[in-house]
Structures are given as structure tokens and as C-alpha cells.
Amino acid sequence: MDNQMQESSLRCNIKKCL
């Protein structure tokens, strides 16, 4: 259902972490 939202969150987290 919220596949795009979850992927976006993971990408944001990784980018922020980096």
C-alpha cells in the first residue's frame, strides 16, 4: 500500500545519514 512512501523514507534516511 505505502510502498513508495517506505522507499522514499529509506532513501531519505540513507541520504541524510551520508
| pTM of model > 0.85 | no
**Grid coordinates given for 10:** 529509506
Rg of the chain over Cα atoms, rounded to whole angstroms, equals 8
| Tens digits of residue pLDDT in 1-18 | 566 667 777 776 767 665
Helical (H) or strand (E) element with 17? helix 3-17
Specify the pLDDT at position 17. Answer: 64
